C-alpha cells in the first residue's frame, strides 16, 4: 500500500549510563522549563536524521556533560520503547574530561538500585532495571 499518511515514525533517542569504578551511574535532572522538567534521566538526546546513534550519543555527551567519548566505548545495554519514542541505552565506562552538568539542573552519581527512588520520565525506569540486572550478573 502506498500514499497513505500513517502515524509519525517513533522518535529515536540515545542515552548513556556513564559508570564509575564503583558502578555508580550518572543521572541528570531535566531543566524545569522543559517537558519532564525536574525529573532525573540518563544523559542523551535525539538522534538527528541520518546520524549514527553512537555518534549522536557522543555529541550529546559533549553538549550536556562536557566529556569526550568514543563511539567504540558506547556499549549497547538496553532499550525502552513507547509508540512515539524508542530509547537506546549504552553503557560508557571510558571518557575524557570532568563530568559537568552543562544543561541540567543538577547531576548525581548513585547505585542503579537507588536510582529508581528518584522521579524519572517513564521509560527511564525500565532502563535502570535493565542496567541493574546486567551489573548484578557482571555482564557489563
Q: Is 12 in the site for ligand 8GT (CB under 6 A)?
A: no
Judged by CB under 6 A, which stretch of 41-49, 51-59, 90-98, 109-117 contacts ligand 8GT?
41-49
Residue 115, number of CB atoms within 10 A of its CB = 23
Which of residues 69, 74, 77, 123 is near ligand 8GT by CB under 6 A?
123
Give every CB contact of residue 11 below 8 A, 6+ residues apart in sequence: 46, 84, 85, 86
Question: Nine-digit cell at 91?
Answer: 553503557
Should residue 78 be labelled a site residue for ligand 8GT when binding is judged by CB under 6 A? no
Could you tell me the smallest distance in angstroms from the CB atom of residue 121 to ligand 8GT? Answer: 3
Q: Locate 115 and state its grid cell.
A: 536510582
Number of residue whose CB is nearest ligand 8GT: 45
Nine cell digits for residue 101:
552538568
Residues 6 or more apart whose Cβ sits within 8 Å of residue 129: 116
Residue 4: CB minimum distance to ligand 8GT, A: 25
Separation CA 118–CA 50 (nearest Å): 34
The footprint of ligand 8GT (CB under 6 A) covers 13, 15, 34-36, 41, 45-46, 85, 87, 121-124
Amino acid at each position: 500500500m502506498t500514499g497513505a499518511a500513517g502515524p509519525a515514525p517513533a522518535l529515536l533517542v540515545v542515552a548513556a549510563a556513564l559508570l564509575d569504578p564503583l558502578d555508580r551511574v550518572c543521572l541528570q535532572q531535566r531543566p524545569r522549563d522543559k517537558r519532564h522538567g525536574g525529573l532525573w534521566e540518563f544523559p542523551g538526546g535525539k538522534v538527528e536524521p541520518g546520524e549514527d546513534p553512537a555518534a549522536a550519543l557522543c555529541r550529546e555527551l559533549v553538549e550536556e556533560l562536557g566529556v569526550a567519548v568514543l563511539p567504540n566505548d558506547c556499549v549497547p545495554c538496553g532499550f525502552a520503547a513507547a509508540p512515539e519514542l524508542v530509547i537506546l541505552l549504552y553503557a560508557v565506562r571510558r571518557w575524557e574530561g570532568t563530568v559537568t552538568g552543562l544543561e541540567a539542573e543538577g547531576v548525581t552519581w548513585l547505585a542503579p538500585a537507588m536510582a529508581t527512588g528518584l522521579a524519572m520520565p517513564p521509560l527511564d525506569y525500565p532502563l535502570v532495571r535493565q542496567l541493574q540486572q546486567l551489573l548484578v550478573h557482571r555482564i557489563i
